[in-house]
Structure 1
Amino acid sequence: MTGQPIPVIIDCDTGVDDALALLFAVRHPGLDLRAVTCVAGNTDVDGVVRNTLTVLEQAGAPDIPVARGAARPLIEPARSAQHVHGADGMGDLGLPAPSRAPAPVDAVTLLHREILASPRPVTLIPTAPLTNIALLLRTHPEVTGNIERIVFMGGAVATGNATPVAEFNVWHDPEAAAVLLTAGVPITMYGLDVFTRVVVPGADVRRLRASAEPGTRLAGELLAHRPSAPEPDGDDPAGGLGDAGAVCAVADPAGLTTRLLPVEVSLAPGPTRGQTVVDRRPRPGESEIHEGTREQALVDVGLDVDVDRYVKLYLDTVERP
């Protein structure tokens, strides 16, 4: 590895796979995790703050500032994913309460401060509904001058999970996602098309769970809670990296295949609300011919991923001494 570590800020809704992402970001030598901001999503925002502080503590992370952000989307009510992530949002693993405390500022203030204070442009990694990011961009648009890229976990080209066409993070706050696409900085969309494919084999999950090192063991417990390819008897399932794949894509972008494509978010009520409409057509269609071309954001959309490469990268990183 050459060069200086990449300054990164993670905006998350911790969350089992957000926790996996934090463990990776803390331990990868090519990343400089400068701050973490929290938003309602997988669980309520206070639970997200607690979970984030617990993960950083278990990982042996330095004193990274953590701030509480939006308790609900811009327009919609908050709608959690506790049926996936457990009542505490962290797989109900019974983890101890953290001894660390959050920063005495809100998430937007912390994002503004840390982005502008960074000596090098920051890569922003939202792995959650994009409410905090939308509030930041509307309140402090000058931060884009020191943002290198936004790599967000969200959206889908093909199939959704919150609805048949909408992915949870975008569906939870579609207006915020639409604001993100107007940021005026390079954006990478790490959507469900690649998100669901990066799976750690069961044998590796078992090895992590048996580790005596708290952060490594926690990664194994979290992966075991995210069965993506369970074996026939249901024991020792393989575990999906989920959000952590987006952080892998920052540390090793060559493992993700992207195309620069027009993307917009469906905001209308009804079955398509929250869909990321990705235009993969080779040429304009009748709509553009008859009605004119709409202005759309151009986004580097993740279409393929080197699964073995990212699994190895993740394991090598979280098992570091």
Structure 2
Amino acid sequence: MKNIILDVDTGVDDALAILFAVRHPGLRLRAVSCVAGNTHVDAVVRNTLTVLEAAGADDVPVARGAERPLLAEPHDATHVHGQDGLADLDLPTPIRQPVDIHAVELMRREILASPDPVTLVPLAPMTNIALLLRAYPEVAGNLERIVFMGGSAAVGNATAVAEFNVWHDPEAAAIVLGSGVPMTMYGLDVFYEVALGSEDIDKLILHTDSGANLAGRLLRHRAMASGGDTRIPIPGGGSIGDAGAVCAVADPAGLTTRTLPVEVCLVGEQTRGQTVVDHRTSTHDTPPPGRGTARRIDVALGVDRERYQRLFLDTVSGVTV
């Protein structure tokens, strides 16, 4: 069983990722840390607790983390996720409260206490993760890998070249990517590929289990909000988004990756937040100044769409996987 910690800005697709993580029998969700991104950090905490309660996972500790990026001004994505961050479904207020320590302290505690190395799964701007690695570098010794949803080897969504999570706090992303921890980038190149069609969404909505029902309602929102988006491979479908990164932890063979140098651009109005992925292999290309300093990480460039569709649907529905 893999020990994992999620770092989230819950968010519709973060919620789908949480539901998958608590239901998959091969994953042990040790903790969830919250950070500002899709919405304000206090709403992120509320949403995270709400989703865990719907999934029957009241024992997973949740902590409040950074409420703004390291340097940049914060920007939310409520135009995508709804004013409450969870599709404005008017979900009940959670009963329990977050733990009374900062998210960075919670992650440090759980990583160092784990008998086996932990996989850290950031699905949000990486402010908390950068603070963790800077304040407590010893945690890297018990990290198996960081699998993060963010970045792109091609086009962006926050800008023409930058993906939202990295663009929101590029300084934090640069710190994390430069940390030397083994890393997989689950970026926009595969993010939209794994989607469920209307028939599967309807099955989830009609499910008697509260977690599966919530997943269906969230996916219905994504399908409606993404109407006409040509990046979604199923017409009228809803992408599982961030949940795909957790699928990649549970079943890494579903990804096609290449180990490539990746740097985060920190300057330029048009380029700030871009993950610059160096695909070049020829020794005859002229290296730019500083080439060779970028960390090499595993970059997801392809995904077995049907494999992860079935994995997500079966896991959230409670089918043995």
TM-score normalised by L of structure 1:
0.95
The residue type equivalent to 1:71 in the other structure is E
Counterpart Cα distance in 1 of 2:5 and 2:271: 31
The alignment of Structure 1 onto Structure 2 pairs a total of residues equal to: 313
Percent of aligned pairs with the same amino acid: 63
Q: What residue number does 1:272 align with? A: 271
The residue type equivalent to 1:25 in the other structure is A
Change (3 A) 1:64 1:292: closer
Q: CA deviation at 1:286?
A: 5.0
Q: CA deviation at 1:229?
A: 6.7
Say whether the 8 Å CA contact 1:22–1:56 is kept in structure 2.
yes
Q: What residue number does 2:205 align with? A: 209
Give per-residue Cα distances to partners, 1:11-33, cap 9 Å, x unaligned.
00000000000000000000000
**Worse-superposed segment, 221-230 or 237-246:** 221-230
The residue type equivalent to 2:194 in the other structure is V
Say whether the 8 Å CA contact 1:261–1:299 is kept in structure 2.
yes
The structure 2 residue matched to 1:297, chosen from 295, 298, 301, is 295
Q: What residue number does 2:174 align with? A: 178
Counterpart Cα distance in 1 of 2:123 and 2:291: 31
Q: What residue number does 2:72 align with? A: 76
Q: Secondary structure at the match of 2:133?
A: helix
Q: Secondary structure at the match of 2:104?
A: helix
Q: What residue number does 2:215 align with? A: 219
Q: CA deviation at 1:202?
A: 1.0
Q: What residue number does 1:122 align with? A: 118
Counterpart Cα distance in 2 of 1:246 and 1:239: 16
The structure 2 residue matched to 1:52, chosen from 48, 53, 57, is 48
Query: Displaced runs of 4+ in structure 1, greater than 4 A?
Result: 228-232, 284-287
The residue type equivalent to 2:44 in the other structure is V
The residue type equivalent to 1:40 in the other structure is A
Q: CA deviation at 1:319?
A: 0.5
Matches within 5 A, 1:141-180: 141-180=137-176
Q: Secondary structure at the match of 2:28?
A: strand
Listed as ranges, the gaps of 5+ residues in structure 1 are none
Matches within 5 A, 1:103-122: 103-122=99-118
Q: CA deviation at 1:291?
A: 4.0
Counterpart Cα distance in 2 of 1:281 and 1:108: 37
Give per-residue Cα distances to partners, 1:133-183, cap 9 Å, x unaligned.
000000000000000000000000111000000000000000000000122
Q: Secondary structure at the match of 2:63?
A: strand
Give per-residue Cα distances to partners, 1:94-116, cap 9 Å, x unaligned.
10000011001000100110000
Counterpart Cα distance in 2 of 1:231 and 1:134: 36
Give per-residue Cα distances to partners, 1:169-218, cap 9 Å, x unaligned.
00000000000012221100000000011111110001101112110000
Counterpart Cα distance in 2 of 1:37 and 1:137: 14
The residue type equivalent to 2:6 in the other structure is I
Listed as ranges, the gaps of 5+ residues in structure 2 are 230-234
Change (3 A) 1:292 1:217: closer
Say whether the 8 Å CA contact 1:16–1:222 is kept in structure 2.
yes
Change (3 A) 1:43 1:285: farther
Q: Secondary structure at the match of 1:151?
A: strand
Counterpart Cα distance in 2 of 1:269 and 1:79: 18
Q: Secondary structure at the match of 1:226?
A: helix
Q: What residue number does 2:311 align with? A: 313
Change (3 A) 1:185 1:99: same
Q: CA deviation at 1:241?
A: 0.5
Give per-residue Cα distances to partners, 1:254-292, cap 9 Å, x unaligned.
00110000000000131000000000012246541x746
Give the superposed CA RMSD.
1.6
Give per-residue Cα distances to partners, 1:213-238, cap 9 Å, x unaligned.
11000000011111287489xxx931
The residue type equivalent to 2:156 in the other structure is G
Say whether the 8 Å CA contact 2:178–2:294 is kept in structure 1.
no
Q: Secondary structure at the match of 2:37?
A: coil
Q: Secondary structure at the match of 2:121?
A: strand
Counterpart Cα distance in 2 of 1:247 and 1:231: 26
Counterpart Cα distance in 1 of 2:301 and 2:120: 20
The residue type equivalent to 2:240 in the other structure is L
Give per-residue Cα distances to partners, 1:42-68, cap 9 Å, x unaligned.
000000000000000000114110000
Q: What residue number does 2:232 align with? A: none
Say whether the 8 Å CA contact 1:224–1:237 is kept in structure 2.
no
Question: Is residue 97 from structure 1 mapped to residue 97 from structure 2 by the alignment?
Answer: no
Q: Secondary structure at the match of 2:263?
A: strand
Say whether the 8 Å CA contact 1:263–1:278 is kept in structure 2.
yes
The structure 2 residue matched to 1:18, chosen from 8, 14, 19, is 14
Question: Is residue 281 from structure 1 mapped to residue 280 from structure 2 by the alignment?
Answer: yes
